[in-house]
Amino acid sequence: MADFGLFDYQEEVVERALKRENIIIWLPTGGGKTRAAVYVAKRHLETTENAKVVVLVNKVHLVDQHYNKEFEPHLGSIYKLIKVSGVSEEKDFFGKVVQRNNLIICTAQILYNALINKEEAKHVELSDITLLIIDECHHTHKEAVYNKVMRCYVEKKLKGEGRLPQILGLTASPGTGGAKILGDAVEHVLEICANLDSAIVSTKNYEPELKKKVPRPTKTFDIVEKRHADPLGDHLKWMMKQIHEFMNLPRDVRLRECGTQEYEADVVILEQRGKTVKRQIDGTVYKCSHGWNRLFLVGPFRRYRMELRNLAADACFENPNMAKLESVLLQQFGPNVKSRGILFSKTRKSTHCLYDWILKSRALQRAGIKAAILTGAGNGITYMTQNEQADTIRRFRQGDLNLLISTSVAEEGLDIPECNLVVRYGLLTNEIAQQQASGRARAVNSQYSVVARAGGKEVRREHINEHLEELTAEAIAVVQKMTPQNFRRKVRYAPFTFAPTAHFAQFDLFQF
């Protein structure tokens, strides 16, 4: 494997996969999981008759990334490779694509659509595939599309219907599934193993080498004291209270504290309900059964526009979070300093606000910050097209941009080893998202900053996630120490998400 450029720890984690076992590779972000998968695919194609490898990803931009940076450079001169996403014409005859190529990289939804589509040109059978590689495989749960694919796999395995592909899962953070104690966390890991019909492996003999290859960033809590007065915020909250009272919200709608991350999430859900009602009503001015009136909703803002502008322009009441954020950025960026960072924020709207703020900050502009927004693809003003996403990521890699202001879309999968600053700005997330975000800071002496209000929920959540990250590692260690027989027995009775557990008790799902 030396000629392929694998580290010793990578050779260790692929060993069982090369023996055709179903395996989940657990390595930290930046540890080279994809490169290890490329090597397994290469050996599989060399040694398997009529080999057919399919690589599944859960985000469109990862199709191009895996193809361009890993699989095509190492395998493209020998084998027929193709990438297929929702923007590719090949998705419309995916069955033919699978037949004509040795290795296919695609979004999981495309494969699942092909599995359930009966048209010959589009249909694919799992028996057509000999190796199925699943990137970010911790998403194989509940009704996620990865789990729908694996549901097809397990159902065929239980019925003994034809050949099935070898499974190779890749993950940096299986998480605890909401568990707070070791026993429940172990159950969660077993569930992921069951859903993927796989055992989980990590390096045991070469941990020092891995730690050297993937250094942990320096973590700082950049705490902001609560501002002494916030007349603008108070005025906005008063206006929102008037609107809430006028709206006469249904009993099943509960809006949490105004101005918080939870409140924003509640409003997004409420907005979607409003759009559903609006589609059923003609005209631009309407009143629905809940008593909402469009003109009233915008009225308060029009009446108090000048007052709000004056408050917003008063430097005495500036948001101290912004001053702290500016300080954190200026520690890493400067006119003659080559830095690259990601600023994570919760919502698409907040990324746009932060972007505008950075453009207007003379200090940040003098520091040479060249920022861009990276959000999820979709329809609407604040969404990006898939081409816009790809272009932004390309410019960031090339150095035309040095700061991404991103939602969670950048937490997983981005291959940016030069990134030496990650900032989480007022975020409440689980331990998986926190690990993924921290893993973006891969350069030597990199920094992971948490900008949050003193005594706020964000700091408490960050500490809880640190504990859960440790708990995940402990749970995986417990699972790995099980004998094959005990592991097989435990997995049979793990809380499967795709079929009644009793059905699985009749079968040995795992081969050792």
SS3 for 338-361, per residue?
CCCEEEECCCHHHHHHHHHHHHHC
Pairing of strands 341-344, 447-453: unpaired
For 212-252, how does the pLDDT look when each residue is reduced to its tens digit (9 = 90+)?
A: 988 888 999 999 887 767 777 787 788 788 777 777 777 77
Q: Measured between alpha carbons, how far is 399 from 489 in angstroms, rounded to an integer?
A: 51
Which token pair is 28?
């930290």
CA atoms within 13 A on the CB side of 319: 16
pLDDT, residue 22, reads: 97
Is residue 436 within 8 Å of 27, Cβ to Cβ? no
- Spatial separation of the C-alpha atoms in residues 54 and 33, rounded to whole Å: 16
333 or 310, which is more confident: 333
Q: What are the residue ranges spanned by the domains of the chain?
A: 2-211+482-504, 215-227+320-469, 234-313
Distance separating alpha carbons of residues 397 and 417, to the nearest angstrom: 9
Q: How confident is the model at residue 380 (pLDDT cuts 50, 70, 90)?
A: low
Output the pLDDT for position 261: 64
Q: For residue 263, is pLDDT > 60?
A: yes
Cα–Cα distance measured from residue 475 to residue 183, given in angstroms and rounded to the nearest whole number: 8
Question: DSSP labels for 363-407?
Answer: HHHHTT--EEEE--BSSSTT-B-HHHHHHHHHHHHHTS--EEEE-
Task: Report which of residues 6 and 260 the model is more confident about.
Answer: 6
Q: Determine the pLDDT at residue 381.
A: 58
Q: What is the percent of the chain where pLDDT is above 70?
A: 86
Q: Are the folds of 2-211+482-504 and 215-227+320-469 the same?
A: yes
* Residue 250 CA: distances (Å) to CA of 238, 244, 266, 351: 20, 11, 13, 31
Residue type, 381: I
Residue 330 exposed, middle or buried by CB count within 10 Å (0-12, 13-18, 19+): middle
Neighbouring CB atoms inside 10 A of 365's CB total 13
Mean pLDDT over all residues of the chain?
85
Task: Using the predicted structure, report yes or no on whether residue 33 has a pLDDT greater than 80.
Answer: yes
pLDDT exceeds cutoff 60 at 505? no
Q: Across residues 368-387, what is the average pLDDT?
A: 78
DSSP letter for 454, please: T
Is 215-227+320-469 assigned to CATH 3.30.70.100?
A: no
pLDDT digits (tens, 9 = 90+) for 388-436: 887 888 899 888 999 999 987 767 766 666 788 999 998 888 888 888 8
Q: What is the pLDDT of residue 246?
A: 74
Nearest to 221 by CA among 458, 412, 446: 458
Q: Which residues pair with 377 in a beta bridge?
A: 384
pLDDT at 189 over 80: yes
Helix (H, G, I), strand (E, B) or coil at 53: strand
pTM: 0.81
Interval 449-492: pLDDT, tens: 999 888 888 889 999 999 999 999 999 999 999 999 999 888 87
Residue 40 has what pLDDT? 98
Nearest to 146 by CA among 164, 178, 169: 169
Model pLDDT for residues 127-177, shown as the tens digit of each residue: 999 999 999 999 998 899 999 999 999 999 988 888 999 999 999 999 999
Return the C-alpha torsion angle 451, 28, 4, 77, nearest 10. Answer: -70
Of the two residues 363 and 304, the one the predictor is more confident about is 363
- In this predicted model, what pLDDT tens digit does every residue of 439-450 receive, in sequence order? 888 788 899 999
pLDDT tens, position by position, 327-362: 999 999 988 888 999 999 988 888 999 999 999 999
Asked if the model's pLDDT at residue 95 lies above 90, the reply is yes
Which H or E element spans position 201? Answer: strand 199-201
Domain covering 2-211+482-504 assigned CATH 3.40.50.300 in the classification:
yes
Name the percent of the chain lying above pLDDT 90: 51
**285: its two tokens:** 């001015």
